[in-house]
C-alpha cells in the first residue's frame, strides 16, 4: 500500500476508523494462519495416534 493512500484515508475518515480497519485486517490474517497451523498439528496428531495403535498391536502380538 502506498503511504499517500493511507494518509488520505486518515484525513478523510479519521485515524480511529483507519486503525480499526487495519487491526480487523490483521486479526483476520492471523486467524487464517492459525487455522492452517492447527490443521497441520491435527494431521500430525492423527498420524502419531495411528503409529501408537500399530505399536500397541505389535506389542500385544509379541506377548501372546
Per-residue pLDDT at 40 exceeds 90 = yes
In the DSSP assignment, the letter for residue 11 is H
The whole-number pLDDT of residue 64 equals: 74
- Is the model's pTM score more than 0.75? no
Instruction: Give tens-digit pLDDT for 44-60.
Output: 999 999 999 999 999 99
Axis crossing angle, helix 15-63 with helix 3-13, rounded to the nearest 10: 120
Higher per-residue confidence, 53 vs 13: 53
Across the range 25-31, mean pLDDT stands at 97
Where are the domains positioned within the chain?
A: 25-64
Q: Is the pLDDT of residue 12 over 70?
A: yes
Backbone phi and psi for residue 57, each to the nearest 5 degrees, phi listed first = -65, -40
Amino acid at each position: 500500500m502506498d503511504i499517500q493512500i493511507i494518509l488520505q484515508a486518515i484525513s478523510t475518515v479519521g485515524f480511529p476508523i483507519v486503525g480499526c480497519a487495519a487491526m480487523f485486517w490483521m486479526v483476520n490474517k492471523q486467524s487464517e494462519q492459525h487455522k492452517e497451523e492447527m490443521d497441520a498439528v491435527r494431521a500430525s496428531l492423527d498420524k502419531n495416534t495411528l503409529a501408537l495403535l500399530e505399536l500397541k498391536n505389535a506389542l500385544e502380538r509379541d506377548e501372546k
